[in-house]
Structure 1
Amino acid sequence: MTDQDIPPDGWKPIRIEGFMGQIGPLLRSTRIEDRNTYGLQTNEGHKNHIGLVHGGVLTSLLDQVIALVAWNSADRQPTVTVQMDTRFLGAARAGDFLETRATIRHGTRSLIFVDADITSANGPVASASAIMKISSQTGQTA
């Protein structure tokens, strides 16, 4: 076990299979007031050719956290991303701890509108707004 495998105080790993499992582990805040807050400890494997955390890592992190928050909001019914607009606000470097918060902006019977932000110790990194569709079946296509 390395230091990278030990979550910081106030965080616990959550099991996510598939693609996000390759990027993670994804961490969830254990603080009650931060129910929709997730984290990712970045490392050398997350960087692009200029040494910054790759934009694909950031967008994947945003999409995963948005999906988790939407899923919980929809009483754990599957949700799929219909649209996600991402804004890159700053840079993150390999080794940075990224904190991601998502907030439900609005919901209907079939759609959930979610906003999310990624921050590091150096300030804002990225934000996104997404529309999530509540799906009646796992694996259903839009």
Structure 2
Amino acid sequence: MSSSDRDDNPPEGFTSSTTRGPYTTHNGPFYHKVTEDGFWHGVRVKQRHCNSRGITHGGMLMSFADGLLGTAVFRATKTVALTIRLNSDFLSSARPGDWLEGTARVTRATRSVAFCEAELYVGSRPVLKATGVFNLMSRHKVADEGEPAAS
């Protein structure tokens, strides 16, 4: 466990995500876990994630939700996908020190697009709900069970 992992103190079951792209890696560190019911991503909110009011910036929350949605699409379709639309409802805030976590699922997929939804929480308190539409990049369909780099 790196010193950053100890500082972030992720809840039991979360492990460091190491296959993310440069944008997401810069905004992390992020963690993940897979359960029988699905998957979760998490991050310990830091001051750099916040706006001038000391709460997590809406853009950070939306980027986090976009990554969750993209992961859900890949897990369900084994196809790399690009965001077409992302709608977010901000329900409450997260502050430095809070553990922010979320999960997502595909609600419908066709040959070319996937529809999905995500929720972000601090504890049991909902922070954000998001829905998305993703363009399935069929030429990037993965034949094996490997996970691609998260967005």
Same fold by TM-score, threshold 0.5 exceeded?
Answer: yes
What is the match of residue 116 of structure 1? Answer: 118
Aligned to 1:35: 38
* Structure 1 counterpart SS, 2:36: helix
**Aligned-pair identity (%):** 27
Q: Which of 17, 23, 32 is residue 19 of structure 1 equivalent to? A: 23
Whole-angstrom distance in 2 between the partners of 1:114 and 1:4 = 32
* Farther-moved stretch of structure 1 (82-91 vs 20-29): 20-29
Instruction: Call closer, same or farther: CA 1:133–1:18 in 2, change over 3 Å.
Output: same
* Equivalent-residue separation in structure 1 for 2:124 and 2:116 (angstroms): 24
What is the CA distance between 1:94 and its match in structure 2?
1.1
TM-aligned CA distance change 1:34 to 1:28, over 3 Å: farther
Separation of aligned partners in 1, 2:10 and 2:71: 20
* Structure 2 counterpart of 1:68: 71
Instruction: Give 1:54's aligned amino acid.
Output: H
SS in 2 for 1:9: coil
Superposition CA RMSD, Å: 1.6
Which residue number corresponds to residue 95 of structure 2?
93
Runs (4+) of structure 1 exceeding 4 A deviation are none
- Give the secondary structure class of the aligned counterpart of 2:108: strand
The answer on 1:55 being equivalent to 2:51 is no
Which of 1 and 2 has higher RCO (CA within 8 Å, sep 6+)? Answer: 2
Instruction: Give SS of 2:84's match.
Output: strand
| Residue number in structure 2 paired with 1:103 | 105
Residue 17 of structure 1: CA displacement?
2.1
Distance 2:102 2:139 in 1: 27
* Unmatched 5+ stretches in structure 2: 141-151
Q: Which runs of 5+ in 1 are unaligned?
A: none
TM-score, L = length of structure 2: 0.83
Which deviations, in whole Å up to 9, do the C-alpha atoms of 1:41-92 show, x marking residues without a partner? 11111111010011111000000110111012121x2100010111100011
> Displacement of 1:137 after TM fit?
4.6
